[in-house]
Chain A
Amino acid sequence: GAVVSQHPSRVICKSGTSVKIECRSLDFQATTMFWYRQFPKQSLMLMATSNEGSKATYEQGVEKDKFLINHASLTLSTLTVTSAHPEDSSFYICSASLGQGDEQYFGPGTRLTVT
């Protein structure tokens, strides 16, 4: 199956700093990628849809100025958590699909800890 990678797998940062998380589709091109956040013992919450070459579409309640998404190529989407705070500590997961209606492939996730 298709492979999606994320980097870094875990990151610790200080409050007030910004952190960038990369999501790559390794063996296919993805015009659309998705970003999720997952708190301990909870389900995945969709944050935004990342569209190659255009602005991301954010879900209700997700601050677009805090969670910057860039999808500059068909194999890379980045999520930047700006001015991170301890409450932003979470597990961030991306996914990509080959096309509309196709199975989504998920990355391994990035554990963010803000101290």
Chain B
Amino acid sequence: LAKTTQPISMDSYEGQEVNITCSHNNIATNDYITWYQQFPSQGPRFIIQGYKTKVTNEVASLFIPADRKSSTLSLPRVSLSDTAVYYCLVFSGGYNKLIFGAGTRLAVHP
């Protein structure tokens, strides 16, 4: 399972765009990149998943360069309610086991 590295914490202000980058140098050919969000005392919530290039949904975008050794989660116009821990995970379609890293603690300020 590929290990991921992401910043421990980030600060932002309401209305700004936030980009969280994750490194996964040992990503395998079959691996997908997945991001989860977790609020205190709640289970993680799926945000977005991708394999290459760019993926966009109603809450975020995921940018993956051609070498796939990193990925960037982009949250447009964050609000106070986006304050949470964000986890980047890499997993193989055949493996299914998720190993969580430390995550990035995002604090959004008024």
A binding-site residues for B, Cβ under 8 Å: 1, 4, 6, 32, 34, 36, 43-46, 49, 91, 93, 95, 97, 100-109, 111
6 closest A-B pairs by beta carbon, nearest first, are A101-B93, A106-B43, A44-B100, A43-B100, A106-B44, A93-B43
Interface centre among B34, B42, B94, B101 (most CB of A within 10 A): B42
Q: CB distance A109 to B43 under 8 Å?
A: yes
Which residue of A1, A32, A104, A109 contacts B42 across the interface (Cβ within 8 Å)?
A109
Given contacts A34-B98, A46-B99, A100-B96, contact A105 B42 (CB under 8 A): no
Given contacts A93-B43, A111-B41, contact A104 B94 (CB under 8 A): no
Residue B45 CB within 8 A of the other chain: yes
A100 neighbours in B (Cβ, 8 Å): 93-96
List 6 additional A-B contacts (Cβ < 8 Å) besides A34-B97, A34-B98, A97-B96. A43-B100, A46-B98, A46-B100, A95-B43, A108-B42, A109-B43
A103 to B98, CA, bound (A): 10
Interface centre among A6, A103, A106, A111 (most CB of B within 10 A): A106
Q: CB distance A109 to B49 under 8 Å?
A: no
Q: CB distance A32 to B96 under 8 Å?
A: yes
Q: CB distance A103 to B46 under 8 Å?
A: yes
**Restricting to B81-104, which residues have a CB under 8 Å from any CB of A?**
87, 91-103
Min CB distance, A33 to chain B, in Å?
Answer: 11
27 contacts between A and B (CB under 8 A): A1-B46, A6-B43, A36-B100, A43-B87, A43-B101, A43-B103, A44-B44, A44-B100, A46-B97, A46-B100, A49-B97, A93-B43, A95-B98, A100-B93, A100-B94, A101-B93, A103-B34, A103-B46, A104-B96, A104-B98, A105-B46, A106-B43, A106-B45, A108-B42, A108-B43, A109-B42, A109-B43
